[in-house]
Chains A and B, each alone.
Chain A
């Protein structure tokens, strides 16, 4: 519960001020890979490494992951279709898959599964649109929505409540 609260707090902080909109958006785009593709695969280890190593927002990545998980489940039939088209119904690609399938390490990524390949390709295609959309969204949020939110009675009532005190308790200095 504390971890969740902490994560929530980080998220709010990230959206509000920490990091540039570009960093947050890049984190969201990378985190989306964790949610869109089946988690327990080798490529996701690379994605996690990239999130940690690259100067992108970590809470943003967590937000991208959280938002993409339900989308991943919902889009599984589409991923299956995309993967099937690429793996089975495109004979021109068969030599490529055959080569990849007989290389060391590559088969451990399970690229030859329709869901894995379909979701990974879909994420690669969607990564840039997600990035730009998120960057625009975070920017707009900070300029327009957040000031209004701060001025709203609900927010002021909330900040005056005990819940906010709990939030402040875990707020990093």
Chain B
């Protein structure tokens, strides 16, 4: 029987040819789907390509994508970027190694923030983008924006809401008292265990005997025995004294620790004042301004995308050459895990050497003009490429006015720790409209300047983001006008003066304060871990509001503050006193007792030494 069916070679060859032709015919569609699939995986929102055209010739491939739309993950009905056409030169040989190396990319017809016909949200994000999105959302959820509610400021503060169990001072004082009791009992038992009395009695009796000792009656041998015995007692006495001294050191240190904890109660009480102030909606005007309350949410919303992209860059541009794991492809069978094994001096799985885009934003709007964007060194294995990824974008021609816009980002993941830096200055860009519910107003920032300066080293990030505008517009919300009634608006006549602390008064005060401002500056500081940095918000609006509050109702607030403090003191003081008494009891009952006992032992030891010395002096021969 023959092993090979040679007559099947021709059908097999034909089958292979059919498969190859099928692949060739579907190549355009396959590239289109691949770009959409990979783009969606990376961005975390839909990426659409209208059509793809692939041409392979003489060792190089030309890929032309038309109608690329990348959805903004934060706004599924808007595109982050839309491009009419993308022409890429792809190396062919690396494709045999399943590597995509793109030498150049030219992008035309780029537009930003265009509306989408259908939602670009995806039902199931990839594990990577989903994880990053969740991390950023959790971070945003953890940021505590202090509330700004001036309503009811001067009404009687409901101090009954302050629960003693919620006060840190009470908990600390109880803990100190408990620890004092516990230490006192422990030390008392230990002191009883030390029991220096027998040694003391023995030493005293020996001293008495030595005083009365007659050398002649004892004889040389008797005197020598007495001296040796006395020296033995002295040694034992010394050992007991050392143990008592060590014990005394521990007691002194323990009492010192208790006293320092007592000192810390003052700090805890300050925290309790702040806590109680939060419970009764009493604003604290001691801080520089009230900006976090006014612009905190806006700051978090604007920082979320920045953190999202930074964290995503870390996922897709990892440093080092360790094997990388990623979920396998979607298929009917289980996806499994795909592991990549990068090797030095080889090409990375993905490399974009250089991309350039000439973006034109039409119209007469503030952002209208021509932009030039370049991107170089974008790779999935920066350690193999060895150079940082650079993104530079700049406005090269503005349609309206002297507008500027520059963005430079350098992501150096070629070595650890990774170093990223982003510097952006955009002038004349449309700024958001911010709703300030406490003031019953909306702030339209108009067009202004945005500055972003971020630096990241390893897991640490530090930076600043600011918005400024010289032509802001304030508007009262309808509900605010209704609530304020006749006092609404800075120029409105006041038929009835609203009472301090009423909703109308609060909104009127804030409105009068902020509506005078024609320029607004908001600055957000970022620092800490890149996955969950801390933010600080400052603005001239917050400072103005704080000053206005001080002017208008500083005395009233001080009075309420005093009342609040007195209430906190009333609830806290008994516990603090109790703790102080317990600590004092430990001092009196143990520290002083131990000190007295140690002094007694030392005195007995000195006396015994003196008597031994006196006896040996009287002997005719020297006893070693």
A residues engaging B (CB < 8 A)? Answer: 20, 38, 40, 45, 48-49, 52-55, 72-73, 76-77, 79-80, 83-84, 87-88, 94, 97-99, 101-105, 107-108, 110, 112-116, 118
Q: How far is the CB of A159 from chain B (nearest CB, A)?
A: 31
Q: Is the CB of A53 within 8 A of B340?
A: no
Complex Cα spacing A101 to B93, Å: 14
Complex Cα spacing A20 to B3, Å: 13
Q: Is the CB of B340 within 8 A of A108?
A: no
Q: Is the CB of A52 within 8 A of B333?
A: no
Q: Is the CB of A113 within 8 A of B336?
A: yes
Q: Is the CB of A115 within 8 A of B334?
A: yes
Pick from A48, A104, A116: contact of B96, CB below 8 A: A104
Smallest Cβ-Cβ distance to A103: which chain B residue: B97
Q: Is the CB of B341 within 8 A of A115?
A: no
Given known A-B contacts A101-B340, A104-B97, A54 and B333 have beta carbons under 8 A apart: no
Given known A-B contacts A88-B325, A108-B96, A40 and B331 have beta carbons under 8 A apart: yes
Using Cβ atoms and an 8 Å threshold, which residues of chain A touch B99?
107
Complex Cα spacing A48 to B8, Å: 12
Using Cβ atoms and an 8 Å threshold, which residues of chain A touch B1?
20, 55
- Starting from the known contacts A55-B4, A114-B338, 17 additional A-B residue pairs (CB-CB under 8 Å) come to A45-B19, A52-B11, A53-B9, A79-B334, A83-B336, A83-B337, A88-B339, A97-B323, A101-B340, A101-B341, A112-B338, A112-B339, A112-B341, A113-B329, A114-B328, A114-B337, A115-B336
Complex Cα spacing A97 to B541, Å: 61
Q: How far is the CB of B190 from chain A (nearest CB, A)?
A: 54
Given known A-B contacts A80-B334, A102-B346, A53 and B339 have beta carbons under 8 A apart: no
Does B270 lie at the interface of the complex (its beta carbon under 8 Å from any beta carbon of A)? Answer: no
Q: Is the CB of B15 within 8 A of A114?
A: no
Smallest Cβ-Cβ distance to B346: which chain A residue: A102
Count contacts on B: residues with CB < 8 A to the other chain: 34
Pick from B2, B329, B334: contact of A55, CB below 8 A: B2
Complex Cα spacing A103 to B338, Å: 17
Using Cβ atoms and an 8 Å threshold, which residues of chain A touch B335?
115
Q: How far is the CB of B351 from chain A (nearest CB, A)?
A: 14
Does B343 lie at the interface of the complex (its beta carbon under 8 Å from any beta carbon of A)? Answer: yes
Using Cβ atoms and an 8 Å threshold, which residues of chain B touch A97?
323, 339, 341
**When each residue 162-196 of chain B gets 1 if its CB lies under 8 Å from chain A and 0 otherwise, what string results?**
00000000000000000000000000000000000
**When each residue 1-19 of chain B gets 1 if its CB lies under 8 Å from chain A and 0 otherwise, what string results?**
1111100110110011001
Q: How far is the CB of B30 from chain A (nearest CB, A)?
A: 12
Using Cβ atoms and an 8 Å threshold, which residues of chain A touch B124?
none
B residues engaging A (CB < 8 A)? Answer: 1-5, 8-9, 11-12, 15-16, 19, 93, 96-99, 323, 325, 328-329, 331, 333-343, 346
What 4 A-B pairs come out closest when comparing CB atoms?
A: A115-B336, A107-B98, A114-B336, A76-B334
| Interface SS of A by simple majority | helix
Q: Is the CB of B5 within 8 A of A52?
A: yes
| Interface SS of B by simple majority | loop
Q: Is the CB of A53 within 8 A of B341?
A: no
Pick from B3, B11, B343: contact of A101, CB below 8 A: B343
6 A-B residue pairs with CB within 8 Å: A52-B15, A72-B333, A104-B97, A113-B339, A115-B328, A115-B336
Pick from B4, B98, B337: contact of A80, CB below 8 A: B337
Using Cβ atoms and an 8 Å threshold, which residues of chain A touch B333?
38, 72-73, 76, 115
Complex Cα spacing A55 to B3, Å: 5
Complex Cα spacing A30 to B5, Å: 15
Complex Cα spacing A73 to B343, Å: 33
Complex Cα spacing A110 to B336, Å: 11
Complex Cα spacing A76 to B337, Å: 12
Q: How far is the CB of B21 from chain A (nearest CB, A)?
A: 14
Smallest Cβ-Cβ distance to A84: which chain B residue: B337
Q: Is the CB of A112 within 8 A of B343?
A: no
Q: Is the CB of B11 within 8 A of A98?
A: no
Q: How far is the CB of A55 from chain B (nearest CB, A)?
A: 5
Q: How far is the CB of A42 from chain B (nearest CB, A)?
A: 11
Pick the most buried of A55, A72, A112: most chain B CB atoms within 10 A of its CB: A112
Q: Is the CB of B97 within 8 A of A112?
A: no
Q: Is the CB of B5 within 8 A of A108?
A: no
Using Cβ atoms and an 8 Å threshold, which residues of chain A touch B336?
76, 79-80, 83, 113-116, 118
Q: Is the CB of A94 within 8 A of B341?
A: yes
Using Cβ atoms and an 8 Å threshold, which residues of chain B touch A110?
329, 338
Using Cβ atoms and an 8 Å threshold, which residues of chain B touch A53?
4-5, 8-9, 12
Q: How far is the CB of A162 from chain B (nearest CB, A)?
A: 35
Smallest Cβ-Cβ distance to B9: which chain A residue: A53
Using Cβ atoms and an 8 Å threshold, which residues of chain A touch B338?
110, 112-114
Using Cβ atoms and an 8 Å threshold, which residues of chain B touch A72?
333
Smallest Cβ-Cβ distance to B335: which chain A residue: A115
Pick from B2, B334, B343: contact of A102, CB below 8 A: B343
Q: Is the CB of B331 within 8 A of A94?
A: no
Using Cβ atoms and an 8 Å threshold, which residues of chain A touch B342?
98
Complex Cα spacing A52 to B4, Å: 9
Given known A-B contacts A53-B4, A80-B334, A115-B335, A98 and B341 have beta carbons under 8 A apart: yes
Using Cβ atoms and an 8 Å threshold, which residues of chain B touch A99?
343
Using Cβ atoms and an 8 Å threshold, which residues of chain A touch B339?
87-88, 97, 112-114
Smallest Cβ-Cβ distance to B334: which chain A residue: A76
Complex Cα spacing A8 to B19, Å: 26
Q: How far is the CB of A7 from chain B (nearest CB, A)?
A: 17
Complex Cα spacing A89 to B93, Å: 31
Pick from A52, A102, A118: contact of B97, CB below 8 A: A102
Smallest Cβ-Cβ distance to B321: which chain A residue: A98
Pick from A52, A77, A98: contact of B12, CB below 8 A: A52
